Chains A and B, each alone.
Chain A
């Protein structure tokens, strides 16, 4: 175990909301993480704090064993590519890349040149004039060519079309294989990145909802479909994530896997079953988490009097 990032009880409060509420996790060296969660869940806040663009209200953050805040020694080893990257008004892609090259000690110019070609990025026009896809490409190229020991990609590929995204994933994997480092990908396109990431951390409303290997997450839930009565009988008192029905057919998603014995039972009862893909698992768990909170008694009722 070799954590390059350690977060303990991290809390960030704005007026009366907790953007982050006592969050703790480790990020191991040389691994690709998926950092997932709804908009406003706290992902970007967490990444901003980890890259010293913001600071904790309480709790601690250690990057390479040190506090990253205003710490140039740590920050030159970290690259943060964010969705709404701002560049100086008159800059073009050429200048942006040249600036990045000066900042990152591991910068690989050959890789940058290849990527500029592959993404067909025009180098001369002012960045304001670039299309959304081209703007995203600038960020993605910097993220990859920096070869920074820790690289965050905060949904900078939202502007990329499917073809460009595939280029990004392929290049990311190929470069990571040759030059292992720590990469944190935050994305809403969970199923697209599911095969790339080794661990999944899900944040929901400022708290950690999941922190496990992708493999474990894949095996965590099962869905079963078939005649409603048969399904209910089979599911019994397992922990249910989601339920749906269409006429006499019901579909239930529950936590847990089927043993070979149970699989035979299900088959014999005419029920179809399948493991739950990562994106669906996370969506269902998030919905359940939010529903549970909604039905909890309001704690602040008394304060209104």
Chain B
């Protein structure tokens, strides 16, 4: 577990990852707070906080007496959010590191073309 972000945020991101990669589908039942706590070996209150964060974001919704479900449109919402953060999270550090090694943004662009595998 990464020490950087609060634990409950890491939990929320773990569930979001599953939605983004498709392993947790829209309208599918999300893992319960206790299941998450048990799997990640953390306090259930922390797991609950992560789940509540997703409910507040609209990524999950509650069906009374049954549990938490993935909201329709959640995947698109998360993809849009992550695309917006992509530049800060990945591109800026990439360019910074490249600069330290004496590589220009054009050099980086070239490396990207060389390394990108054509999508199937």
Contacts and interface: CB of A to CB of B under 8 A. Distances in A.
A112 B12 CA distance: 34
Contacts of A268: 96
Contacts of A218: 3, 6-7
A219 B37 CA distance: 21
B45 A174 contact: no
Interface string A256-289: 0000000000011010001111000000000000
Interface string B1-29: 10110111000000000000000000000
B96 A267 contact: yes
A32 interface: yes
Contact of A169 (B4, B8, B41, B46): B41
Interface footprint category on B: 20 to 34
Interface in B15-68: 33-34, 37-38, 40-46
Interface string B70-87: 000000000000000000
A48 B118 CA distance: 68
Nearest to B3: A275
A274 B34 contact: no
Contacts of A32: 43
Contacts of B34: 174, 177-178
A173 B46 CA distance: 12
A177 B41 CA distance: 11
Contact of A198 (B1, B3, B38, B46): B46
Interface in B81-103: 93, 96, 100
A239 interface: no
Interface footprint category on A: 20 to 34
A195 B42 contact: yes
Given A170-B38, A173-B37, A178-B34, A215 B6 contact: yes
A17 B19 CA distance: 58
Contacts of A170: 38, 41
Nearest to B33: A177
A177 B44 contact: yes
A31 interface: yes
A178 B44 CA distance: 10
Interface in A152-205: 169-170, 173-174, 176-178, 180, 195-198
Given A170-B41, A197-B43, A274-B4, 15 more contacts: A169-B41, A173-B41, A176-B44, A177-B33, A177-B34, A177-B38, A180-B44, A195-B40, A195-B43, A196-B41, A198-B46, A214-B7, A215-B6, A215-B7, A268-B96
